[in-house]
């Protein structure tokens, strides 16, 4: 176990997964976070607030309960401080629990990842957007006060994402919460595996992994992690899993296969958005220039280079086992979506690693279609040119760990 | 109303952002399925009620950020 900035983060290099307080954590940026939430809220036929809030309560409660035990935080002040530290370290903003008692109270903050991101990406919101934070506070309060999950109700009457608002506000009461209560599944079942060989001698994957996981990518005084042109978060894999899969299941329950067919493209598109902004930003960064770019000779090397970085994000072990400008095969072991699906719902009936599917296609579009090597600006127009045209790369699932296969894999080719 | 829905979707493809049509599909899913219409399979021959067409046109205009021509 390696301690990073006084939090006991477990870097599981064998599985390329990261854990804090037993919860798998993954890097994702503000583009992905807001795009995913908006996609879910677009489905007006789904009552999504209960699971958008409940999923956050689930992971916060599980993680903090574990950390409180692990760190032996016996008094309330230490527990509150720990919760505040985890939240800001993760890049979610800042919270101050000092004004809350066991019966609740009002908490306000001038720093919120979701609110700032929403405002920057979509403009002023017409309703409060910090549903994640509402759930997180509820789960944290239960952990701090040794109460069961769901014992704290959190209202979010004002939000920085809305016009004319200076702070996010949360009213906390010790009354039963109205969100959906989920049982946390933690790490799930990971596989014993070796790395698949991949055809590239110009990328030192282990060196990249060690270098990137050693970078101080943690929240600053405002609880932000500005890096690579985006705002990163150490987010919860099982939060993403829960909200995405709950949306999917709700749509299927109501509309069968058509519900699934409508939701899936939105979840894959979120992966495109992620790859474009985060991977694009990484491949234009000074860190990339210093650490990885000097040894890269071909576009294929660039694919392997960014895949080496992806291995440092906690998403599982990624490999591009075959790469050319015509097509590529990506093999992912212990991808967090599949592992989470199986732990939450059992074996899937269809491939459901949507983030990975979109991200794999995004890599190919950035390298072969977008010539990221020439350092283009990552503008909305550039995004459109990469993903809208009829010759864009798209990923097709070949294997799915969620369905019981040994790995998750995709073939990526031009449509 | 044959062909009108097809025109709206084509207009969205040409003027909207990547994924706007996917957003439209999820926003109006309950209404389209009531008329057994699958937006991913709309052709020039697809017919729908004027109420549904109006709703879809409004939603398309909102997503693209400009009025969808009638």
Question: How near does any CA of chain B get to the CA of A230, in Å?
Answer: 20
Asked if A123 has any chain B CB less than 8 Å from its own CB, the reply is no
3-state SS class at A204: coil
What is the model's pLDDT at position A388? 85
Task: Tally C-beta pairs within 8 A across A and B.
Answer: 45
How far CA B31 is from CA of A268, A287, B52, in Å, comes to 24, 49, 7
8 Å CB contact between A395 and A330: yes
User: Is A269's CB within 8 Å of B33's CB?
Assistant: no
Instruction: Give the global pTM.
Output: 0.96
pLDDT digits (tens, 9 = 90+) for A118-164: 999 999 999 999 999 999 999 999 999 999 999 999 999 999 999 99
Task: Identify the band that residue A1 occupies on the pLDDT scale cut at 50, 70 and 90.
Answer: very low
Which of left, alpha, beta for A334 (phi over 0: left; psi -120 to 50: alpha)?
left
**Residue range B19-41, pLDDT digits in tens:** 999 999 999 999 999 999 999 99
Confidence band of B1 (pLDDT split at 50, 70, 90): low
Q: Least CA distance to B38: which residue of chain A?
A: A258
Residues 8-67 of A with CB under 8 A from B: 39, 42-45
By C-alpha distance, which of A216, A245, A99 is closest to A169? A99
CA distance A309 to chain B (A): 26
CA distances from A107 to A59, A117, A147 (A): 20, 20, 19
Which residue from B minimizes the CA distance to A41? B27
Return the pLDDT at A415.
83
Residue to substitute from A38, A123, A258, interface B, most B β-carbons within 10 A: A258
Q: CB contact, 8 Å: A266 with chain B?
A: yes
Q: What are φ and ψ of residue B56, in 5° steps?
A: -70, -40
Hey, are the CB atoms on A262 and B26 less than 8 Å from each other? Answer: yes
Q: What is the pLDDT of residues A198-214, one digit of tens each?
A: 778 899 999 999 999 99
The pLDDT, as a whole number, for residue A3 is: 37
In chain A, residues with a C-beta closer than 8 Å to the C-beta of B18 are 269, 272, 383-384, 387-388
Q: What is the largest CA-CA distance in chain A?
A: 61
Asked if A130 and A136 touch (Cβ cutoff 8 Å), the reply is no
pLDDT digit string, tens, across residues A28-41: 999 999 999 999 99
pLDDT tens digit sequence for A59-88? 999 999 999 999 999 999 999 999 999 999
Q: Which residues of A touch B26 (CB under 8 A)?
A: 39, 42-43, 251, 262-263, 266
Chain B environment of A258 (Cβ under 8 Å): 29, 33, 38
Query: Are residues A255 and B27, on separate chains, in Cβ contact within 8 Å?
Result: no
A-interface mutation test, from B19, B32, B56, most A Cβ less than 10 A away: B19
**Taking CA atoms, what residue in A is nearest to B36?**
A258
Does the ipTM exceed 0.85? yes
User: DSSP letter at A28?
Assistant: E
Classify residue A183 as exposed, middle or buried by CB count within 10 Å of its CB (0-12, 13-18, 19+). Answer: exposed
Question: Which of B18, B26, B40 is closest, CB to CB, to A42?
Answer: B26
Report the first-to-last Cα separation within chain B, whole angstroms. Answer: 12
Q: Could you tell me which chain B residue has the CA closest to the CA of A258?
A: B38
| pLDDT digit string, tens, across residues B45-66 | 999 999 999 999 999 999 999 9
Task: Please name the residues between 341 and 400 in chain A that touch chain B, using a CB distance below 8 Å.
Answer: 380, 383-384, 387-388
């Amino acid at each position: 176990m390696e301690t990073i900035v006084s939090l006991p983060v477990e870097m599981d290099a064998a599985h390329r997964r990261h854990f804090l307080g037993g919860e798998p954590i993954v890097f994702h940026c503000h583009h992905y976070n807001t795009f995913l939430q908006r996609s879910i809220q677009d489905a007006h036929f789904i009552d999504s607030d209960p699971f958008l809030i409940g999923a956050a309560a689930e992971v916060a409660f599980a993680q903090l309960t574990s950390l409180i035990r692990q760190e032996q935080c016996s008094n309330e002040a230490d527990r509150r401080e720990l919760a505040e530290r985890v939240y800001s370290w993760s890049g979610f903003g800042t919270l101050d629990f000092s004004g809350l008692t066991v019966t609740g109270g009002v908490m306000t903050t001038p720093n919120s990842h979701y609110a700032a991101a929403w405002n920057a990406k979509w403009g002023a919101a017409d309703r409060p957007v910090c549903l994640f934070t509402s759930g997180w506070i509820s789960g944290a309060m239960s952990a701090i006060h040794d109460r069961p999950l769901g014992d704290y109700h959190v209202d979010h009457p004002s939000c920085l994402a809305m016009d004319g608002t200076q702070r996010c506000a949360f009213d906390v009461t010790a009354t039963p919460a109205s969100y959906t209560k989920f049982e946390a599944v933690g790490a799930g079942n990971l596989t014993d595996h070796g790395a698949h060989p991949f055809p590239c001698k110009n990328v030192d994957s282990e060196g990249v992994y060690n270098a990137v996981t050693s970078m101080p990518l943690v929240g600053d005084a405002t609880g932000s992690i500005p890096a690579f042109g985006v705002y990163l978060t150490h987010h919860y894999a099982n939060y993403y899993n829960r909200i995405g899969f709950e949306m999917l299941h709700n749509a299927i329950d109501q509309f069968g296969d058509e519900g699934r067919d409508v939701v899936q493209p939105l979840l894959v598109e979120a992966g495109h958005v992620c790859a474009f902004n985060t991977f694009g930003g990484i491949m234009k960064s000074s860190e990339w220039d210093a650490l990885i770019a000097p040894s890269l000779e071909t576009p294929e090397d660039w694919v392997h280079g960014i895949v080496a970085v992806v291995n440092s994000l906690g998403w599982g072990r990624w490999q591009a086992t075959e790469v050319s400008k015509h097509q590529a095969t990506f093999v992912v072991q212990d991808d967090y979506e599949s592992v989470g699906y199986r732990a939450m719902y059992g074996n899937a009936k269809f491939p459901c690693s949507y983030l990975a599917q979109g991200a794999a296609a995004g890599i190919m579009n950035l390298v072969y279609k977008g010539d990221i090597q020439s350092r283009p600006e990552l503008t909305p127009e550039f995004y459109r040119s990469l993903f809208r045209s009829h010759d864009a790369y798209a990923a097709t699932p070949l294997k799915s760990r969620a369905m019981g296969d040994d790995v998750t894999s995709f073939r990526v080719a031009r449509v | 109303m044959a062909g009108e829905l097809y025109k709206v979707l084509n207009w969205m493809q040409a003027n909207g952002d990547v994924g706007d049509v996917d957003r439209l599909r999820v926003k109006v899913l309950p209404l389209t399925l009531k008329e057994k219409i699958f937006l991913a399979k709309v052709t020039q021959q697809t017919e729908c009620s004027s109420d549904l067409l109006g709703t879809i046109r409004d939603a398309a205009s909102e997503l693209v950020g400009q009025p969808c021509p009638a």
